[in-house]
Amino acid sequence: MLQTPHPLPSPLPVTNDHSRLRLLAGSANVPLAEEIARYLGVDLGPIVRKRFSDGELYVQIQESVRGCDVYLLQPTCHPVNDHLMELLIMIDACRRASARQITAVIPYYGYARADRKTAGREAITAKLVANLITGAGASRILAMDLHVAQIQAYFDIPFDHVYASNVLQQYIVSKGLRDFVVVSPDVGGVARARAFAKKLNDAPLAIIDKRRQGHNVAEVLNIIGDVAGKTAILVDDMIDTGGTMTEGARLLMEQGAQSVYACATHAVLSGRAPEILAESVFTEVVVTNTIPVPPVKHFPQLKILSVANVIGEAIWRVHEDSSVSSMFR
């Protein structure tokens, strides 16, 4: 079910001392880390992870990283708190082992949905997590498809933001779809959907107007734009409970769409999401492997694409002091 995208251009000419590049993986997504290691032509560094009887985590790096540029790959997905804490411990271990630079590679940045106060006495967890990672000793961040781009500003260290859009767009093009419209599931995602549509030969854009009743609960009201007789491509950064996407797809079909595809970077798929999506009207639900999707959460319409080449190329360019943004022009 996992599909690797067309390879990116060969890595840039070697100018740095790559014997000092170290790639280490937390427990959150080892298969993705192994793919990235193959792309870079390096081995994953040996690391021991244990859990004490009271639940505390223990991490030990089992090779010298003194004077090295260390890249720690760890999405903060379910169980979020454990994986976040493991990342912080790995950063601290590398800092105390005298690593020259520590880059936290976070394919999925958890706690990102609370990026501002929308009511009194709320925490801004996206900023809190940024403070924790910086305080642990990270030198820079490499993350993919943040929930909102402003999270980059919560860090006072260099931040490289990369995107899965090229991988998703290549797949959509390979389907040979004709007369399609890119749809944003809400007003907040319009910029993301517009950028996605622009790369698909300036495809038309539609917006689903919804009013949220509470966390993980959304009421879809109407569609702004013409979808009748077209293939609709719903674009979002993540699919969590599946409710927003499923209701949006149902409304699109009611408004005359021929078929509906979902494209999202992060397959959170919490709770009954796989069952809900399996029973939906989607032709395909296309996601990436920033978060591992265990077989028990697979369903017939699910298509998983690999972003290992994108993240691997970004790591290489960071290490080479080359442009990362030029990958997406």
Nearest-angstrom CA–CA distance, 157 and 90: 18
| Residue reference for tokens 């939906």 | 280
Longest dimension (CA), the chain: 61
- Tell me the helix, strand and coil percentages in the chain, rounded to 5: 35, 25, 40
Nearest-angstrom CA–CA distance, 96 and 108: 26
- Angle 317-107-188 from CA coordinates, rounded to 5°: 110
Q: Which helix (H) or strand (E) holds 314?
A: helix 308-319
Nearest-angstrom CA–CA distance, 19 and 14: 11
Q: What is the DSSP letter of 236?
A: E
Give the tokens for residue 34: 């192994």
Omega cis (within 30) before 79: yes
Catalytic residues: 210
Q: Which of 256, 304, 261 is nearest to 280 (CA)?
A: 261
